[in-house]
Structure 1
Amino acid sequence: MAEPQPGRRGGQFRVLDKDLGRITHAEAAQLHAMRPVWRLGLMVLAFVALILLAVGLSGAGAAYVWLGAGLVVAAWLGLAIGSNDVANSLGPAVGAGAIGLVPGLILVALAEIAGAVLAGGAVAQRLAGGIVDPAVLEASGTGALVMLAALTGAACWITLATGIGLPVSTSHSIVGGIAGAGTAAYGFAGVDWGAIGRIALTWVAAPVLAGLLAGALVMLLRHKVLEAPDRARAARLWLPGMVALMCGLFTIYLMRLLGLGLDRGGLGLALAVLAGGIGWITTFGRITAEIARDGKSAAKTLLRPALLVSVLIMGFAHGANDVGNVAGPLSVILGGARTGGYGLVPGAVLLAAGMTIALGTMLFGARLVSMVGSGITRLNAGRAFCVTLATAIVVIGASGTGVPVSTTHVAVGGVFGVGFAREWQDRRRREAARPGLPEEEQSRRRLIRRSHVATILAAWAVTLPVTALLGGAASWLTLLLSGA
C-alpha cells in the first residue's frame, strides 16, 4: 500500500472532519426544516408586540393579557424545541433502519412526555426560582411580567438566529433571557450570578464529559465488535450486554425518581434486573434475526437494536431537560403564589409543556429527520450509537441536578470525543506499523481540527449575552407599559 503523501489526507485523518462536516450539514438542514417554525415565531412576536402596545394604551385587563401573551410565547417555544432537537434522538435509528419514521416520531414524543413529567421538575424549578430570587419575584408582584419578558427575549433571539442561519440553543437562550430580564427589573442584586456561573460551567463540562464517554464507548465497540474476526459472534456476545446494562441503569434512575430506590425491599433492584434481562433477550434475538435475514454482519445491521433503545433513552433525556425551558418561566406567569410558591412547578405545567414539545416533534420533526437522519447515520451506525448514548447519559445526569443544557451541544461534544478517540487509535496503529507523517504536518492537521472547537465555542458564547440584552430590553419595555 502506498504511503500517504504529506500534501494529501489519508483515510485515517478524515474521520473527525467528516463527522464535523455532517454536523454542519445537519445544522444547515435543521435551519431549512425550521422555516415553518420560524414563520410562526414571527407571527407570535408580532402578536405579543400588539398586545404590549394595546395594554400600554388602554391598561384594561392587563393581568389576563399578560397571561395570554405568556401562554402564546411558551407554546411557540415548546413547538420549536420539539421540532429542533428531534433529529438528535431519532436520526441515527431511522438512518440505520431500526425503526420507521412515523413510529419513531410517536415513540420519541411519548418518551419526551414521560421525561418531562417524571424528571423535568428539577430543571424547571431551577429556571423558575434558581436564577432570580423567588422571594424577590413574590414581593415585587412583577414576577409574571419579568418571566414574560424573558420568554420574549429568548423567542426574539431564536427567531432572529434561525432567520439569519445561526443555530442556537433554547436552553442557553432562556437562561440569558431570565438573567437579563431579572437584572433590568431588580438590579444586579436580584439575580443569582453564582447560579449563572455554575450553569455556564456545566455548559462547558457537559460536552467534554460526553466526548470522553463517547470516545470510550467507540473504542470498546470498535475493539470488541467491529474489528473482531467474527463480527456476528462478537455482536451477540457484547451488544446484548451493553443494552442490558443501559436498560438496568435507566430503570434504577426511574425508580429513584418514583421513590422506589434499591432499599425498598429489593423492588428497584428486581425491576432493574428484569429490565436488563428483557433488554438482553430482545437484543440477542433481534441481532440473530438481522444476521439471518441479511446474511451478513455489517455494523449497521448489528447495531439496529441498540440504536432503538437509545431512541427511548434520548427522547426521555430531551423531555426531562428541555421541558424546563417552557415550564419554569410559565409556572411563574401562571401565578406561583397560587400553586404553592414561586420556584415550585406544578405537575400539570410539566405535562402541558411536555405535550407541547411532543406536538412540535410530531408536526415539524418528520421533515428534519428525513433530511438529516439518514445522512448522519448511513456511513457509520457505530459512531452514531456511541454519540447518542453518551449524549443521553450526560443530559439525564444534568437533568437530575437541575441544570439546563443543550442537547445538540452535548451531542457535538460526543462527536469530538469519537473523532479524537479514533484519531488516537489510528495514530497508535500507524506508529506501530510504520513511520507516520512528519511531525510538523501532524501538528498542522491537529491545529486545523482543533480550530473547530474555538469556532463552535464562540458561536455558543454569543447566545447568553445577546439574550440577556434582549430579555432586559423586553423587561424594561413591559414594566414601562404596565406602569409597574
Structure 2
Amino acid sequence: MKTGLRSFHTLDKDLRRITHAESAQRYAFRPVWWLGLAVLALVLGVFLSVGMSGENAAMVGLGAGLVVAGWLGLAIGSNDVANSLGPAVGAGAIGLLPGLILVACAEIGGASLAGGAVTDRLASGLFDFAGLTAGPEAPIVMLSALIGAAVWITTATGIGLPVSTSHSMVGGIAGAGVAAFGMHAVHWPTLALIASTWVVAPLVAGGIAGLVLIYLRQRVVDAKDREAAARLHIPVVGALMFGLFSAYVALLVQERFGGRLVLPAGAAATVLGYLVMRRVLATQLIGSGNKASVKRIFRPALLVAVTMMGFAHGANDVGNIAGPLTVILTGPAWGATATVPVLVLTMAGVAIALGTVLFGRRLVVMVGSGITRLNAGRAFCVSLATALVVLVSSSLGLPVSTTHVAIGGIFGVGFAREWMDRNKNKRRSPLPVEETRRRLLIRRSHVATITTAWVVTVPLTALLGAGLCLAFLAFSV
C-alpha cells in the first residue's frame, strides 16, 4: 500500500509547496507592505488637505497617481518574481543575483515591446472616453482605480488573502467608471471577455503543462538510456522555445520600427539555441552516465523558461500600471484613437524591475529552498506553459493573473503524472477512502482559494474605486 500511496502524492505535494510559497510571499512582502501603508497614508493626507483648502486638485492628483503607480510596480515586481525564478534558483540553473537581473531585464523588455495591448485595453477598452474629453472624469476614474486597487492589495496582503493585481485593477476601473459615467458607458462584452479569460487561462496552462510533461517523461525521464535521450530531445525543445520566442520579439520590433526580421531572427535563434543548449547540456551531464538527474537535465531549459516568464510577466502586468497612468498623464485629451506612450510602458516596466531586484531576493530564496521548490522537470513544464499562456493573453490585450495561471499548470502536471502512474501500474491497490477524501479536500481548497480571491476582489475594488471617484469628483467641483 505504501507504494500505491507514493504514486499519487505528487500533485498534493506541489500544492502544499504552493501553500508554503504563499506563506513565504506574505512574509517576504512585509517591507513593500509597510511602504504601501506609508504611501496610502501620505496620499490620503494630501487629498484631505487639498479638499479642506479648496485648491485645484489636478496637479495633486497627477502626483498621487505617479506615487501610487510606482508603489504598485514595486509590489508587482517583488510579489511575482518567485513564480519564474524560484524553481530555477532552487534547481541550481542560475544564481540569485544573476537571476534577479535577468528577470528584471526581461520584464523591462516585455513591458516596452509587448505591454501596449493590455495597457490599451485597460486604458480605453472598458469605457469609451472619446465622447467625454471635455471634463476631468477620465483621469479621475483612473486615479480612483489605482488608489482603490492599492488599498485592496495592501489590505488583502495584511490579512493573508492572495489576490491578483490584474483583477484588482479591472474591478477598480469598472467601479470608478460606473460612478463617473453610468452603467451605460461600460463595455460589458469586454468585461465578460476578460472575466472568461481568468477561467480559461489556467485550464489551458494545465493542458499544455500536462502534455509537455507526458512527452518529456516518456521520451527522456523514463527512457532506457536517459543521458542519450536527454542529448537528443532537450536541445531540440530548448532550441524551438528560443527560436519561437526570438521570432515573437522580432515581430514586436518589426511592428514598431519596420523591416523584415521575423524569419531571420527565428531561424538564427533556433540554430544558435540548439548549439548552445547541446553544449551546456553536455557539460551538465559529464560523469552522470545513465543516472543523469532530472535537475541536471532541465537546468539549461529552465534558463530559457525563466527569460520567457519574465518577459511575459512584464508584458501583461505592466498594463495594470501603464493603463491608468497613461490616462492620468494625458488628461482629458485621452481618446479612443490615442496611442500608449512607449515612455510610460518603459517607466512602468522599470518600476516592476526595481521591485524584482530590490525586494524579490527574500521571496526567491524562500521559494527556492528545499521546502517550497518544485522538481526541476515539473517546474520547467509549468514555467513554459505559464509563459506561453500569458504571452498569448498579452498579445490579445487580456490581463490575467500569472500566479493563477501557474497554479493551473501545476494542476495539469500533477494530473498528468498520476494518469501516467495509473497506466503504468494498473494492478495497484485502490487508495483508502480516507486518503481519497483528504486529497480531494486539498485540491478543492486551492480551487476555493483562487475562486474566493477572484469573487471577492472584483466587487470590493469596484466599490472602492466608485467611492473614491465620487469623492474626487466632489472635490473637483
Q: Match for residue 180 of structure 1?
A: 175
1:104 matched to 2:99: yes
Instruction: Report Cα offsets for 1:292-328 as digits up to 9, x if no partner.
Output: 1666510101111000111111100000000000000
Identify the residue that residue 86 of structure 2 maps to in structure 1: 91
Choose which of 281, 302, 311 in structure 1 pairs with 2:306: 311
Deviates most, 420-429 or 439-448: 439-448
Does structure 1 residue 392 correspond to structure 2 residue 397? no
Q: CA-to-partner distance for each residue in 1:20-73, whole Å, 9 max, x for gaps? A: 001110011001100001001101111111121112112324211110011011
- State how far apart, in whole Å, the 2-side matches of 1:163 and 1:205 are: 29
Q: What secondary structure does 2:368 align onto? A: helix
Q: Identity of counterpart residues, as a percentage?
A: 59
- Aligned positions, number: 474
What is the Cα deviation at residue 461 of structure 1? 2.0
Q: Which amino acid aligns with 2:444?
A: S
Aligned partner of 2:205 in structure 1 is 210
Structure 1 residue 93 displacement after superposition: 1.1
Give the structure 2 partner of residue 40 of structure 1.
Answer: 35
Aligned twin of 2:430: 437
Match 1:279 to one of 247, 253, 273: 273
Deviation at 1:98, TM superposition (A): 1.0
Question: What's the CA shift for 1:339?
Answer: 7.1
**Do structure 1's residue 413 and structure 2's residue 404 form an aligned pair?**
no
Structure 2 length as normaliser, TM-score? Answer: 0.94
Q: Deviations over 1:237-288 (max 9, x none)?
A: 0000001111111122122212369x976x4222211101111111111111
Q: Distance in 2 between matches of 1:210 and 1:256?
A: 23
Would the alpha carbon gap of residues 365 and 137 (structure 1) be closer, same or farther in structure 2, given more than 3 Å must change?
Answer: farther
Q: 1: distance between equivalents of 2:250 and 2:374?
A: 37
Structure 2 counterparts to residues 20-59 of structure 1, below 5 A = 20-59=15-54
More displaced stretch, 161-170 vs 127-136: 127-136
CA distance in 2, matches of 1:158, 1:377: 24
Match of 2:295 among 268, 289, 300: 300
Say whether the 8 Å CA contact 2:87–2:374 is kept in structure 1.
no
**Alpha-carbon distance in 2 for matches of 1:344, 1:276:** 33
Structure 2 CA distance for aligned equivalents of residues 38 and 342 of structure 1: 37
| 1:374, distance to aligned residue in structure 2 (A) | 3.0
The 5-angstrom pairing of residues 160-199 of structure 1 reads 160-199=155-194
Counterpart CA distance in 1 for 2:27 and 2:433 is 40
* Rounded Cα–Cα distance in structure 2 between residues aligned with 1:29 and 1:103: 22
CA deviations on 1:446-472 (whole Å, 9 max, x unpaired) are: 633542323432233211111111111
What is aligned with 1:155? 150
Q: Which amino acid aligns with 1:290?
A: Q
2:216 to 221, 235, 239: 221
Calculate the TM-score normalised by the size of structure 1.
0.93
Structure 2: gaps of 5 or more residues: none
Q: Secondary structure at the match of 1:196?
A: helix
3-state secondary structure, aligned to 1:345: coil
Using the TM superposition, name which of 444-453 and 395-404 deviates more.
444-453
Distance 1:192 1:376, change over 3 A: farther
2:473 — aligned with what?
A: 479
Of the structure 1 ranges 71-80 and 372-381, higher mean CA displacement relative to structure 2 is found in 372-381
The residue identity in structure 2 corresponding to 1:192 is H
State which of 323, 332, 336 in structure 2 corresponds to 1:328.
323
Q: Residue 281 of structure 1: SS of its match in structure 2?
A: helix
Superposed CA deviations along residues 145-185 of structure 1, whole A, max 9, x for unmatched, are 11111001000000001111111111110000000111111
1:340-372 CA-to-partner distances (Å, cap 9, x unmatched) read 767631111001111111111111011110111
Are residues 1:402 and 2:409 paired?
no
Candidates 435, 444, 447, aligned match of 1:451? 444
* Counterpart Cα distance in 2 of 1:181 and 1:276: 47
Amino acid at match of 1:413: G
- What is the RMSD of the two structures over their aligned residues, measured on CA atoms? 2.2
| Cα offset, 1:141, TM superposition | 2.5
Partners of 2:434 and 2:63 lie apart in 1 by 60
Q: How does 1:242-391 map to 2 (within 5 A)?
A: 242-259=237-254, 267-292=261-286, 297-336=292-331, 344-375=339-370, 378=373, 380-391=375-386
Residues 82 and 365 of structure 1 are in contact (CA less than 8 Å); yes or no, is this contact kept in structure 2?
A: yes
The answer on whether the counterparts of 2:122 and 2:324 sit within 8 Å (CA) in structure 1 is yes
